[in-house]
């Protein structure tokens, strides 16, 4: 018999925006709900979402997730593995108090960035953080520090 392939990402594993930690100095985090349709929810559970380059805006006292790529599976008979990439804005669900706090931070020049997408039971939640963009030299400094720490750990391990 043939064995079934294990899924690449377990359904409860979070989808992480690793680039956000590199590009921004992140501060406060908020967990918000996200409004999705059925196929979008399925792609979120299967791990077919790309958060790289996405950001959150506030319009009419509502939070909107922009530029997040959802790879939605199409149900076509002729092409069973067909997928469509969808990057339209999606509404985020948060309390009025949280939205007002984010609005104040946004006016201070901060950016709201999604850091994780979590599957909680039948709900899909997104963790958003407020951060300030790093300059290019800050990013280089982060890389240097990371390399030095890695070399130090390597030296301790082999000593």
Report which listed range, 2-16, 102-116, 130-144, is most confident: 102-116
Question: What is the per-residue pLDDT for 23?
Answer: 80
pLDDT of 127 higher than 80: yes
Residue-wise pLDDT for 40-75, tens only, equals: 888 888 888 888 888 889 999 899 999 888 877 666
Give buried/exposed letters for 43-71 (b at 16+ CB in 10 A, else e).
bbbebbbebeebbbebeeeebbbebbbbe
Residue 140 has pLDDT above 80, yes or no: yes
Residue 12 has pLDDT above 90, yes or no: no
CATH architecture assigned to 15-134: Beta Barrel (2.40)
Q: Rounded CA gap, 25 and 19, in Å?
A: 11
pLDDT band at 16 (very low <50, low <70, confident <90, very high): confident
Q: Taking a C-beta distance cutoff of 8 angstroms, is the pair 89, 109 a contact?
A: no
Query: What are the boundaries of each domain within the chain?
Result: 15-134
Position 128 scores a pLDDT of 92
pTM of the model: 0.73
The per-residue pLDDT for 77 is: 59
pLDDT of residue 144 exceeding 80, the answer is yes
């Amino acid at each position: 018999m043939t064995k079934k392939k294990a899924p690449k990402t377990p359904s409860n594993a979070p989808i992480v925006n690793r680039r956000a930690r590199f590009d921004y100095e992140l501060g406060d985090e908020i967990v918000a709900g996200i409004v999705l349709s059925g196929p979008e929810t399925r792609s979120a559970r299967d791990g077919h979402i790309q958060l790289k380059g996405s950001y959150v805006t506030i319009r009419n006292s509502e939070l909107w997730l922009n530029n997040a790529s959802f790879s939605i599976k199409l149900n076509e008979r002729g092409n069973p593995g067909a997928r469509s990439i969808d990057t339209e804005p999606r509404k985020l669900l948060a309390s009025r108090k949280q939205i007002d706090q984010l609005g104040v931070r946004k006016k201070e020049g901060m950016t709201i960035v999604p850091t994780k997408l979590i599957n909680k039971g039948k709900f899909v939640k997104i963790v958003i953080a407020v951060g300030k963009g790093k300059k290019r030299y800050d990013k280089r400094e982060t890389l240097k520090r990371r390399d030095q720490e890695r070399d130090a750990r390597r030296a301790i391990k082999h000593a």
